[in-house]
């Protein structure tokens, strides 16, 4: 019998505190007299949110303005954003700045140079680490999907593993810490292993599972994720090596929030 089960959506996923909805991108609806700029918020539920409006005299700036907002979400380059805001009317620039400040705090692992990272599979459950789980991870890893995985404790005392698959791996610069999943606030980190520290005779998938299973057997909360660790610090997107990261926390394995 298969150990793979589709779980109902977890809120928040794998005990990672996130906002109810997250701003993924900006779009505009243009009519002859104005361009209304909206934020696309994804989460529970998805929705559009009004940001600001360009008047008839500034319609030609719509594409540049929206593009600048989306670029900022990906690279957080404030100088480039300011150059775009300097071209639009002051009230429009102020409204955009205020919206970004209140709603678009940087979120680790949320964007690549191609745009926002989508969740491909919200939550898939495995009852244990075995060959089936290894094959599932290996397939996702080989085609470049981002992986997030955590252990959890069911009401009957069994330890299972919950996975989320994401549309892409997020890059980090060469000199940056290898992490694209923010550490949970207030939880001490015992140790971190990456597949750049290979275990003898084991590939990155099997190595990550070995480390995760051993830490879980000790009763520790474990989280696993993948990233693209660049060999550059400038123009680092899309270059480098794909890695597994295993974080082991000084905390008990969290209880399952939802039972099948």
**What is the rounded distance in angstroms from the CA atom of residue 194 to the CA atom of residue 178?**
8
Across the chain, mean pLDDT equals 85
Residue 200 CB partners (closer than 8 Å, separation 6+) = none
Q: What is the pLDDT at residue 6?
A: 43
In the block, tokens 């810490």 appear at 177
pLDDT classification of 208: cutoffs 50, 70, 90: very high
Q: Give the whole-number percent of the chain exceeding pLDDT 90.
A: 56
Residue 46 has pLDDT above 80, yes or no: yes
Asked whether the whole model's pTM tops 0.75, one would answer: no
- pLDDT tens profile 77-117: 899 999 999 999 999 999 999 999 998 877 777 777 777 78
- Give the pLDDT of residue 171: 82
Confidence of residue 16 (pLDDT cuts 50, 70, 90): very low
pLDDT per residue over 248-257, tens digit each?
999 999 988 6
């Amino acid at each position: 019998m298969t150990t793979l089960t589709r779980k109902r959506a977890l809120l928040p996923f794998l005990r990672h505190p996130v906002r109810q909805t997250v701003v993924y991108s900006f779009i505009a609806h243009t009519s002859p007299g104005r361009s209304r700029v909206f934020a696309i918020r994804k989460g529970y539920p998805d929705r559009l949110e009004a940001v600001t409006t360009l008047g008839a005299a500034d319609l030609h700036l719509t594409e540049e303005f929206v593009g600048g907002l989306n670029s900022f979400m990906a690279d957080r380059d404030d100088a480039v954003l300011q150059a775009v805001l300097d071209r639009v009317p002051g009230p429009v620039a102020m409204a955009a700045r205020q919206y970004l400040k209140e709603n678009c705090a940087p979120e680790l692992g949320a964007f690549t140079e191609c745009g926002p990272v989508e969740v491909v599979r919200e939550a898939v459950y495995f009852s244990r680490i075995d060959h089936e789980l290894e094959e599932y991870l290996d397939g996702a890893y080989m085609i470049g999907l981002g992986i997030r995985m955590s252990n959890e404790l069911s009401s009957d005392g069994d330890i299972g593993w919950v996975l989320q698959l994401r549309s892409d791996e997020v890059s980090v610069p060469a000199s940056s810490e290898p992490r694209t999943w923010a550490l949970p606030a207030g939880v001490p980190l015992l140790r971190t292993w990456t597949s750049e520290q290979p275990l003898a005779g084991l590939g990155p998938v099997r190595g990550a599972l070995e480390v995760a299973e051993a830490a879980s057997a000790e009763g520790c909360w474990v989280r696993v994720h993948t990233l693209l660790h660049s060999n550059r610090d400038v123009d680092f997107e899309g270059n480098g090596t794909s890695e597994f990261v295993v974080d082991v926390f000084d905390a008990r394995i969290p209880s399952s929030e939802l039972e099948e």
